[in-house]
Amino acid sequence: MSPESLELFRYFIIFIILLFITGVYCILLSFNLIRVLIGLEILIKAATLLIILAGYTCHRMALAQAMVITLIVIEIVIMVVAGGVVLWAFKYNKTIDPRRLSNLRG
């Protein structure tokens, strides 16, 4: 690797780590289901960037692109289903606070 690409690699790694920390923070310390979904979205974006970076450094961009497209499709399905669950919880309980959803029966 050239020194310029190594410097760019460092910036990408720092950015990916910051995205990961932000996503974990949103998931663990939030009392709102919408914020939890946003945190999950941020975590998935960090994983996507990490896959792209790994494909670039290993010179296997075609494999990385295929994996990223698959991850995007899976992400969309997860977000649609989770959004439906959040809307259902709000419709029947008038809250999206996970602490108040303990009285759910399945």
Tell me the pLDDT band of 102, cut-offs 50, 70 and 90.
confident
Instruction: State pLDDT tens for residues 34-92.
Output: 999 999 999 999 999 999 999 998 999 999 999 999 999 999 999 999 999 999 888 88
Return the structure tokens found at 55: 């494909």
pTM over 0.75: yes
The stretches of the chain forming alpha helices (DSSP H) are: 3-28, 33-57, 61-93
- What is the C-alpha separation between 72 and 76, in angstroms, rounded? 6
The three-point CA angle 29-30-32 to 5° equals: 165
Return the structure tokens found at 3: 């020194």
Return the structure tokens found at 93: 């309980």
Answer yes or no: CATH 3.40.5.10 is held by domain 3-96.
no
